[in-house]
Amino acid sequence: MVGIISYGAYIPRYRIKIEEIARVWGANGTEIARGLGVFEKALPDMDEDTITISVEAARAAMARRKVDPADIGAVYVGSESHPYAVKPTAVTVGEAIGATPVMTAADYEFACKAGTAAVQTSMGLVKSGMVNCAVAVGADVAQGEPGDALEYTAAAGGAALIIGNDDPIAEINHTCSFTTDTPDFWRRENKPYPRHGGRFTGEPAYFKHVIGASKMMLEKMGTKPSDYTYAVFHQPNGKFPTQAASMLGFSMEQIKPGLAVTYLGNTYSGASMVGLSAVLDIAKPGDRIFMTSYGSGSGSDSFDITVTDVINSDLFNRDAAPTVSDLLADKKIVDYAVYAKHKGKVVMME
Amino acid sequence: MSVARFWRKQQNRYNLIGNQCTVCGKYFYPPRGFCPVCRRDGKIVEHQFKGTGKVVTFSIIRSSSGNFKLLTPYVLAIIELDEGSRLTTHLVCDIDKVYIGMPVKRVFRKLGEEGSSGAIFYGTKFVPA
């Protein structure tokens, strides 16, 4: 059965505290951090971007399992922050893991669910027999306008899944999507920062789609929330996924291991896949994982996943790459001035 | 650097592709056209370096220009790869933590760009292992 044959995540070292961002804008940082359920967010180093994050995540996945790069027939990278407007991120990832030239590649954009859209495409190609394996990446150096609510959470990071048929560490039992035209968040061509509909991003956007896709999945599979060991929901902040889980009947114990956002921030296209990686870091054979992503615009992809015995076999070495916890623990806190420099907010002469 | 000039060396920079002389066993990065020890008797084959090594020596750059201006202060180091070859590279680490003999590993980073509308160049740098 088609499934995840390996996975890897990458989070840059640098962090800024939400309180520090609030200090600059004269806001109450303690209140904002508590309200969002986010206390720190990751930011890139000066020489990191979505391409370098995607490559590091893909290489972590390759390190955990002996995959012949020639078997990788497709590379897809979902992101809102591809460094080039025209020239794919995915080709650099393919080249850097040695999968070129006999492969197809493309970049995806669907706000925060572009990574899981890449997973679905990869599943289709693998299931149809068009390719042996495919790499699906969700990564971002998320943008948020200085002083805007998004700036408190927009973070950097990503994860890669290698999708294949042979001995998956986790079988993907089913995937389904719930999609409508909902203008809750967008970024126009050539604009550096996205705009959003404030409270509109909640009820008719995030919750409608996350709950819609999740209910479809539970109905299709004939399952109930208690049938799953873990659940991962798109995590733009700590509050939304917790509420969505509660509305669906999932417990805090089920979602906590995959709730990376608290000390990472919202990695946009990487968010739900980093959450899934955190769960795979601790999952045991037989564990069942429920995952629903969300991308503004809007849509949600839901996944029903069962971890197999292969995760503990000689075919797979979980310790060959850092866990999400390891990546979160290796951090350097910076102030707003350094953050502004790292995020390219300091204008220099060319 | 021209786009074509960078592209020709892309695999070397992305994946640490160098070479080895199978006669004397020496490794080379960047790759050499022929073995300087065995000369015409040498046989050169491609080799992908593991990407781990140690710091031989280093310098802390506090004043720079162009693409490197915003990176200061940074560490420029000579790294000896585990296979034996040495290269000069940017070592991404806290400047007060670097020391001779420090174990390092490769990472994929941005090396530079041709302004805000030009090509972006990627390749290998090193971080503490």
Q: In the numeric block, which tokens belong to residue A68? A: 């012949």
**Residue A306 belongs to some domain of the structure:** yes
Prediction ipTM score: 0.96
CB contact under 8 A, B92 and A45: yes
A184, pLDDT greater than 80: yes
Q: What is the CATH number of the domain that holds A267?
A: 3.40.47.10
Question: Rg of the Cα trace of chain A?
Answer: 19
Q: Is B85 helix (H, G, I), strand (E, B) or coil?
A: coil
Instruction: Pick from A11, A14, A46, A54 the residue to mutate for testing the B interface (most B CBs within 10 Å).
Output: A46
Strands A230-233 and A288-292: parallel
Return d(Cα A173, Cα A305) in angstroms, integer.
Answer: 6
Over residues A115-128, the pLDDT tens digits come to 999 999 999 999 99
Give domain limits for chain B: 3-128
Q: How confident is the model at residue A350 (pLDDT cuts 50, 70, 90)?
A: low
Contacts of B11 in chain A (CB under 8 A): 95
Distance CA B72, CA A254 (A): 44
Q: Contact at 8 Å (CB) between B55 and B99?
A: yes
Query: Does residue A318 sit within a domain?
Result: no
From chain A residues 18-57, the ones with a CB under 8 A of any chain B CB are 45-49, 51-52, 55-56
Q: Is residue A27 part of a domain?
A: yes
Q: Which residue of A lies nearest to B74 if distances are taken between CA atoms? A: A46
User: Both A14 and A107 in a single domain?
Assistant: yes
Residues A8, A156 within the same domain: yes
A298 and A214: one domain? yes
Beta-carbon contacts of residue A155 (< 8 Å; ≥ 6 apart): A41, A42, A43, A140, A142, A264, A265, A266, A267
Interfacial B residues in 76-105 facing A (CB < 8 Å): 90, 92, 94
Are B121 and B6 within 8 A, CB to CB?
yes
Alpha carbons A168 and A6: distance in angstroms, whole number: 8
Residues B57 and B70: their CA atoms lie apart, in Å, by: 23
Q: Is residue A176 among the annotated active site residues?
A: no
Angstrom distance (rounded) from CA A6 to CA A17: 32
A98 lies in the same domain as A195: no
Q: What is the mean pLDDT of chain B?
A: 95
Whether residue A164 is found in the same domain as residue A175: no
User: Is A274 contained in some domain?
Assistant: yes
What share of chain A has pLDDT > 70, as a percent? 100
Q: Do A190 and A126 belong to one domain?
A: no
Among A40, A48, A80, A151, the one annotated catalytic: A80
Q: Is B114 left (phi over 0), alpha (psi -120 to 50) or beta?
A: beta
Mean pLDDT, range B43-64, rounded to an integer: 97
Q: Are A214 and A246 in contact (CB under 8 A)?
A: no
Q: What is the pLDDT of residues B27-37, one digit of tens each?
A: 999 999 999 99
pLDDT tens by residue, A318-331:
999 999 999 999 99
Choose the closest CB to B122 out of A45, A52, A341: A52
Structural domain count, chain A: 2
- Name the nearest CA neighbour of A210 among A102, A301, A284: A301
B11 and A52 in contact by Cβ < 8 A?
Answer: no
What residues of B are in contact with residue A348 (Cβ under 8 Å)? 69-70
Instruction: Specify whether A175 is located in the same domain as A163.
Output: no
Q: For residue B125, list chain A residues with Cβ-Cβ distance below 8 A.
A: 47
Is A347 part of any domain? Answer: no
Count of residues making up chain B: 129
pLDDT in tens, A235-250: 999 999 999 999 999 9
* Statement to judge: residues A10 and A157 lie in one domain: yes
The helix or strand, by DSSP H or E, that contains position A57, with its residue range, turns out to be helix A50-64
Say whether pLDDT at B55 is over 70: yes
Q: Are residues A129 and A57 in the same domain?
A: yes
Among A122, A146, A17, A137, which residue's Cα sits nearest to residue A71?
A122
**Nearest-neighbour CA in chain A from B14: distance (Å):** 6
In this prediction, residue A43 carries a pLDDT of 98
- In chain B, what is the straight-line distance between the N-terminal and C-terminal CA atoms, in Å? 30
Q: Tell whether B52 is within 8 A of chain A (Cβ).
A: no
Q: What are the respective helix, strand and coil percentages of chain B, to the nearest 5?
A: 15, 45, 40
Is there a single domain that holds both residue A39 and residue A186? no
Contact residues, chain B, for A56 at CB < 8 Å: 107-108
Range of the domain at A199: 170-310
Give the position of tokens 């629903």. A292
Measuring CA to CA, which residue among A329, A332, A281, A333 is closest to residue A60? A281
